[in-house]
A and B are shown apart, each in its own frame.
Chain A
Amino acid sequence: MADSHRPARLIPRARAHIPRPAARLLRTKAGLAIAALGCSALAACGSAGASTGPVTLNFYLYQDTSVATSTAVSNCNAQSDGAYKISYQYLPQAADGQRQQLVRRLAAHDGSIDIMGLDVTWEAEFAQAGWILPWTGSNKASVVNGTLGPALQTAEYKGQLYAAPDNSNTQLLWYRSDLVKTPPTTWAEMIADAEQLAKEGKPHYIEIQGAQYEGATVWFNTMVASAGGSILNADGSQVTLGTPAVQALSVMKQLATSPAADPSLDVQEENQNRLAMEAGTAAFELNYPFVYPAMKADNPKLFKDFKWTLYPEVVPGQPAKVTIGGIDLAVGKYSQHPALAFKAALCLRDAQNQLIGATVGGVPPTITSLYHNPKLYPDYPMHADILQALQNASVRPKSAVYQVVSIDISHLISPPKGINPTGTVSSMKSQLADALQSKGLVP
């Protein structure tokens, strides 16, 4: 912006006096240096430069703050018997930044991307664009065998498997047992309980993600699915919504306009919810299991009464279908070593490494049998509820333009106070229909 005002620099004077042969030599040297730089950059980017030694496979994932991922990488390198060496390349921390970097490189046919960790909402987009390879044959069988159904669904697109679910996530209802004796099973009960606590002047907020971002879309998806509906149809070609969406929005609006809502609902993301609960102002929290160890560390006093149960139902008697999250591993279309990349990806998500991911990294596994492994229990006292929630989980819309769909939704439902159930559904219908045709704008 401001740089355009800088005066243009003249050609450096010193250069002009260099005699011609010397200048030519300089040019050649510079050329060689550039070529050398290019080579080393390429080599660093992967490919088997030399014919001996293991092939380097680049694994692109956000930087895991625990040592779980790097442990998995070294485990696999040790087990590969010199066939490959996984090089862990960090993507940005924020999901948008990760996706943008991958998309830009894949759109430019970057052959250095062998394995990548995809958020569970990107598979349709990457598969439709032809940026990731489908899993077939024995590789596919190894993934499908023993993996949680909804986790597999996130990795499927148009009848093919495009990724291997590496870890999963889902929300539970966390509550304070000193304030609530019997946890509510439905949204109506929960709001009523909170309003009662408000009347008694006790901590009463219900903590949920109301800010204008993916978290709000997750909330809406959970509510619509729990009311028996969906946002798009199964192949992502049409908008469905309908009565379940109106019902979902009515409950969301009811919360937003009730004393049960946190006053900062409009700007709250998962972490703000956690902090509010730890600060003691809330009675309920709908959030991922990471809040459990955090409460233990941050507020041991409240931790004694910090309990969990399944996500509340929208329709009484119909278990909630909570939106599934997590990371799936995919192999890049332009990879030089796809066969080895599939093998390495399988290793990275095998039972041993998923157990490390769960106990060290704090992310729920996607292999069903691990939920019955006693090694998981100390860190996951809520393992049975997580498994139950995951087995009944809902998947976000499978569409190549999911990003636009999600941005449109979060802008229409946040701030939640502004929801007008029927009106919001009809604007959502037309905006999503435009999005599916690449017609509309995103805000």
Chain B
Amino acid sequence: MTVNAPAAAGTEAVREQAPGHKKQLSEGARAERRLGWLLCAPAVIVMLGVTGYPIIYAIWLSLERYNLELPQQVKFIGFANYGAVLSSGYWWTALEVTLIITVFSVAITLVLGMLLAQLMHRTLFGRGTVRTAALIPYGIVTVAAAYGWQYAWTPSQGYLSAAFNNSAPLTTQFQAIIVIIVAEIWKTTPFMGLLLLAGLSLVPEDLQKAAKVDGASAWQRFTKITLPLMKPAILVALLFRTLDSFRIFDNIYILTAGANSTGSVSILGYDNLFSALNLGIGSAISVLIFICVAIIAIIFIRGFGTAAPGTDSGSR
């Protein structure tokens, strides 16, 4: 999903430039374009095969009553599966849990990532070491890290549980969601930090100095200069993180497996597909997740497109 986002943003940009070029395509340009298509045709065909086909098949399955263990009873039922999902409390609980995890983990990651980026930006010596050290949590396999968190929070085994009076936070909904959010933040802050660092390095040092001479305080320089110039980088980072976070699966799968209403929409989809073997309902859930992700992407890209500075007007 996330891979598509910049590509989509790119097409927006192309579309904006297009009107000028549209009519006068020379013979050579047309040939070049044809060659371009030919060259990327293999990639397009592979992409269609490995992403297009499964997506269309999932949509088709979502319109059927199809239990893997009842192959004799497969039947086309239109949108009934969507009706079943959208009228089920389980879906709305899972969506609520997913949104809570997404909003809190992304917001906190953004703040911490910004601090980390500032730190990495300003470090004078040992830059490489600092950046490498910061990346360690991101480099650890999520499932392995999740097991680490799980053991840490297991009473009479884990040091975190022991530090909190031998508590078992993974057995109640509220506390388990906090643990999941913390695990997400720990894991993804370095990634956010790196993306923001890239944005931060785009802010010209001269501008900062000029503002300083004009008497702007550190906070004013941050909010009036750094943030506006970093906005594109922040939005891209937010888009990536939001989409990732919305599709959260592995951390929850290991930490609680969705018990006590801590499952995300992906966990719900997995359970319906792989435990209940209900391909119809499970596919309907997958398609709904796909739609949610698309909505998030559209909101971000539209917002990105309209508010993007760095084009000629804007903050300069």
Residues of A that sit less than 8 Å from B by CB: 1-2, 4-5, 96, 100, 103, 107, 125-126, 128-130, 212, 266-267, 400-401, 403-404, 407, 434, 438-443
Contacts and interface: CB of A to CB of B under 8 A. Distances in A.
B70 A128 contact: yes
A103 B68 contact: yes
B1 A441 contact: no
B258 to A, nearest CB: 7
A401 B276 contact: yes
A129 to B, nearest CB: 4
Given A5-B2, A441-B281, A443-B268, A407 B244 contact: no
Contacts of B2: 4-5
A438 B73 contact: yes
Contact of B191 (A2, A96, A440): A2
Interface stretch (B31-39, B83-91, B157-165, B301-309): B83-91
For A5, A129, A441, the residue with the greatest tally of chain B CB atoms inside 10 Å of its CB is A441
Contacts of B250: 1
A103 B71 CA distance: 13
Contacts of B240: 5
A370 B146 CA distance: 46
Given A129-B71, A401-B67, A440-B84, A100 B274 contact: yes
Given A4-B2, A403-B275, 5 more contacts: A1-B248, A129-B68, A401-B67, A438-B66, A443-B263
B5 to A, nearest CB: 10
Given A5-B2, A107-B68, A443 B271 contact: yes
A440 B88 contact: yes
A2 B275 CA distance: 25
28 contacts: A1-B249, A1-B250, A2-B142, A2-B187, A5-B2, A103-B68, A125-B69, A128-B70, A130-B71, A267-B168, A400-B67, A401-B67, A401-B69, A404-B276, A404-B278, A434-B84, A438-B65, A438-B67, A438-B280, A439-B80, A439-B84, A441-B84, A441-B85, A441-B285, A442-B271, A442-B278, A443-B258, A443-B271
For B69, B84, B138, B278, the residue with the greatest tally of chain A CB atoms inside 10 Å of its CB is B69
B217 interface: no
Contacts of A404: 276, 278
Interface in B259-288: 259-261, 263, 268, 271-272, 274-278, 280-281, 285
A132 B177 CA distance: 41
B3 A438 contact: no
Contacts of B67: 400-401, 438
B276 A1 contact: no
Contact of B275 (A96, A400, A438): A96
A404 B70 CA distance: 13
A438 B281 contact: yes
Contacts of B3: 4
Contacts of B226: none
Contact of A441 (B66, B70, B258, B268): B268
A441 B272 CA distance: 7
Interface of B: 1-3, 65-71, 73, 80, 84-85, 88, 90-91, 138, 142, 168, 171, 187-188, 191, 240, 244, 247-250, 258-261, 263, 268, 271-272, 274-278, 280-281, 285
A438 B263 CA distance: 21
Nearest to A411: B90
Contacts of B260: 212
Given A5-B191, A5-B240, A400 B70 contact: yes
Contacts of B263: 443
Given A1-B249, A400-B69, A438 B278 contact: yes
For A1, A100, A130, A442, the residue with the greatest tally of chain B CB atoms inside 10 Å of its CB is A1
A403 B271 CA distance: 11
Given A1-B244, A96-B275, A401-B69, A443 B90 contact: yes
Contacts of B188: 2
A407 to B, nearest CB: 7
Given A401-B276, A407-B275, A438-B280, A2 B244 contact: yes
B244 A438 contact: no
B90 A128 contact: no
B255 to A, nearest CB: 14
Contacts of B249: 1
Contacts of B71: 129-130
Contacts of A407: 271, 275-276
A431 to B, nearest CB: 10
B269 to A, nearest CB: 10
A100 B275 contact: yes
Contact of B88 (A5, A129, A130, A441): A441
Contacts of A96: 275
Nearest to B249: A1
Contacts of B281: 438-441
B70 A129 contact: yes
Q: Which 9 A-B pairs have the closest CB atoms?
A: A129-B69, A438-B67, A442-B276, A125-B69, A441-B88, A443-B90, A404-B276, A4-B2, A400-B69
For B66, B191, B271, B276, the residue with the greatest tally of chain A CB atoms inside 10 Å of its CB is B276
